[in-house]
């Protein structure tokens, strides 16, 4: 899973979107467009392919199904950017933490997530102590368990009840498929 981060002049970051096996990094390349610079960070290790913009533009005319699949993902990507932007502005940290744990879980097919408090605080654009407080509250209710560098989801259904609406909206739009 790769997170796409906006970086502010003072160095603060917030994730705008994430992608895993369902998509690709560099939506602008599909349209041969310049995009705002984002920092791509591997959040969960895995395998991927690398195809630069020039080669992508060369391949697309001869691969209409591939091009259609990339366009379909691009629509999901834009919906995700919009939803996550609203999420950052409107939802409390604990709801956002729950949503992001579920989003990572969807992309990794595992209840054991290789996430740290630091990585979550960077993704959410908030202070690390806020993430620690949110994780503590979720752990006290038995929804997750924390260990060094790992968060384990113990009750996915109840965690979804604690999450903001953004997880369900993105899931229902097929953002993780």
pLDDT tens digit sequence for 129-158: 999 999 999 999 999 999 999 999 999 999
Q: Average the pLDDT over 36-49 and give the result.
A: 89
Q: Which residues 6+ apart lie within 8 Å of 10 measured at CB?
A: none
Domain count, the chain: 2
- Do residue 30 and residue 81 come from a single domain? yes
Whether pTM > 0.85 for this model: the answer is yes
Instruction: Give the residue from 46, 62, 87 where a domain finishes.
Output: 87
Containing domain of residue 131, as a range?
Answer: 92-172
- Is 177 part of a structural domain of the chain? no
pLDDT at 30 over 90: no
Task: Please state the rounded mean pLDDT for residues 69-86.
Answer: 94
Kindly state whether residues 101 and 140 are assigned to the same domain: yes
CB 79 within 8 A of CB 170: yes
| Between residues 34 and 103, the one the model is more confident about | 103
Predicted confidence at residue 120, as pLDDT, reads 95
Joined together, the tokens standing for residue 67 give 């091009």
Q: Which of 22, 57, 87 is the last residue of a domain?
A: 87
Q: Which two tokens stand for residue 57?
A: 């533009």
**pLDDT given at position 139:** 98
- Determine the Cα–Cα distance for residues 8 and 11; give it in Å rounded to an integer: 5
């Amino acid at each position: 899973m790769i997170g796409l981060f906006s970086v502010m002049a003072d160095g603060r970051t917030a994730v705008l979107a994430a992608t895993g096996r369902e998509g690709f990094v560099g939506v602008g390349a599909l349209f041969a467009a310049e995009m705002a610079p984002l920092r791509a960070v591997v959040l969960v290790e895995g395998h991927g392919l690398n195809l630069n913009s020039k080669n992508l533009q060369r391949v697309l005319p001869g691969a209409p199904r591939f091009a259609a699949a990339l366009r379909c993902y691009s629509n999901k990507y834009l919906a995700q950017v919009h939803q996550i932007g609203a999420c950052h502005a409107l939802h409390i940290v604990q709801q956002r933490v729950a949503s992001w744990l579920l989003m990572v879980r969807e992309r990794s097919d595992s209840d054991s997530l290789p996430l740290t408090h630091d990585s979550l605080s960077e993704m959410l654009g908030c202070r690390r102590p806020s993430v620690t407080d949110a994780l503590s509250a979720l752990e006290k209710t038995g929804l997750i368990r924390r260990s060094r560098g790992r968060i384990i989801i113990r009750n996915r259904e109840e965690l979804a009840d604690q999450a903001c609406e953004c997880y369900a909206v993105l899931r229902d739009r097929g953002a993780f498929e």
